[in-house]
Amino acid sequence: MIPANGFLNNDFEIVEQGSKTFYLDIDRNLIYGYTDGQEAMKQAIYLILSTERYQYVIFSRNYGIELFDLFGRQMTYVLPELKRRITEALLQDTRIKSLENFEFKVNKNKIFTTFTAVTIYGSISIEKVVTI
């Protein structure tokens, strides 16, 4: 049972987790140094949107995005569902406040998605290509 006298509020300070992380150089397949702030947020968004949810036991069930079941579906279903799933996946990160200005361009079996992520470090333009 937790005491009702509020000792937890007096003894502990809740601090927002920082964003300092290893720097991923995706173009050269290297991890070196550190990054923080808006660059770290770009990496976090990239990693969330590149990880299929429920596929890897190392990640929590709230991490990643579900895309596998969209393959072969009609575009009339996929486009609004993709927007919903991107939003659901990224808003799990408390540093992301909102997602805005979604645009979709379809070319054969590829969907080119652009949107803006409004984070505590500022707005970030995101591009994601999904093959369906």
What's the average pLDDT block by block, 10 residues per block, for the chain (132 residues)?
A: 57 68 92 94 96 94 94 92 97 96 94 97 96 86
Q: What is the pTM of this model?
A: 0.84
Domain residues of the chain, as ranges? 20-131
**pLDDT confidence of residue 15:** 61
Q: Could you give the C-alpha distances from 78 to 29, 54, 68, 104, 120, in angstroms and in order?
A: 31, 20, 11, 11, 29
Neighbours of 61 (CB within 10 A): 8
Contact 51, 63 (CB under 8 A): yes
The correct CATH number of 20-131 out of 3.30.590.10, 3.10.450.40, 3.30.70.600, 3.60.21.10 is 3.10.450.40
**pLDDT confidence of residue 113:** 97
**pLDDT confidence of residue 18:** 72
**pLDDT confidence of residue 104:** 97
- In degrees, to the nearest 5, what angle opens at C-alpha 33 toward C-alphas 128 and 47? 25
